[in-house]
Structure 1
């Protein structure tokens, strides 16, 4: 039996801007990105003049196909000028390292958290 995997996306308008949230589960594949990228493209393109705050939950992420790391980098570069703050929630050392490297690519400020409440509090105080 295969392991469940995928990326869920949520959007929420806040006083400080748009909150774009992601939850990655399992080992991500190209098909996961094919489903999610058009949604992200549409949301970001409709919010061109506003600031976007990002919440990424990778606590259930176990990895991804090698080619999909490139997709992550492309996504980060494409929207880096609109992402003001990015909070990454993880629970392992490799997830922390991944978030640090991703923070170098993303625009704005990126921070790693081990608790969702701390990440949300940081994002809410813009």
Structure 2
């Protein structure tokens, strides 16, 4: 019987009311993966009245969600969707373009998929006025 590695790591950087979140998804995510990070995320974002969030999602080793974990992910998007200004999804899978389009339905900002990690981070760091293009 093999061991299925999975997990979700979160790094949070905050300057005033602006947050840069960095997620790394590994394997097939579970409810327990979200249960570990959600309280930390909610505590930090809840400390600011109107947070502005940019997020980098490293999905290079992501293999999907268990059903409860998919629901957990959707709940985060629904609860904080108006607060996201940009989400960059990094990975080399064809379905990630589709995931970025679907994700944009749930947030106020832009969601883009990138095959290049540096391009994704550069796009996230650009000022809002320089946000056009890929």
TM-score (norm 1): 0.90
> 3-state SS of the aligned residue for 2:121?
helix
- 8 A Cα contact 2:4 2:27, kept in partner: yes
- 8 A Cα contact 2:85 2:109, kept in partner: yes
Task: Quote how far apart the aligned CAs of 1:110 are.
Answer: 1.1
> 3-state SS of the aligned residue for 2:3?
coil
Which is further off, 16-25 or 104-113?
16-25
Q: Distance in 2 between matches of 1:88 and 1:48?
A: 26
- 8 A Cα contact 2:17 2:48, kept in partner: no
Q: Distance in 2 between matches of 1:97 and 1:50?
A: 27
Q: Work out whether 1:116 is the aligned partner of 2:123.
A: no
Distance 1:74 1:110, change over 3 A: same
- 8 A Cα contact 1:21 1:56, kept in partner: yes
Q: Distance in 1 between matches of 2:89 and 2:49?
A: 23
- The total of aligned residue pairs comes to 126
- 8 A Cα contact 1:48 1:82, kept in partner: no
Q: Deviations over 1:58-108 (max 9, x none)?
A: 110011102222221111010011111111112101222222211211221
Task: Quote how far apart the aligned CAs of 1:15 are.
Answer: 8.8
* Residue aligning to 2:96: 95
TM-score (norm 2): 0.85
* Residue aligning to 1:21: 22
Q: Work out whether 1:62 is the aligned partner of 2:68.
A: no
Q: Work out whether 1:107 is the aligned partner of 2:108.
A: yes
Residue ranges of structure 2 left out of the alignment (5+ in a row): 128-134
Which is further off, 7-16 or 58-67?
7-16
Q: Distance in 2 between matches of 1:114 and 1:48?
A: 34
Q: Runs ≥4 in structure 1, deviation > 4 angstroms?
A: none
* Residue aligning to 1:7: 8
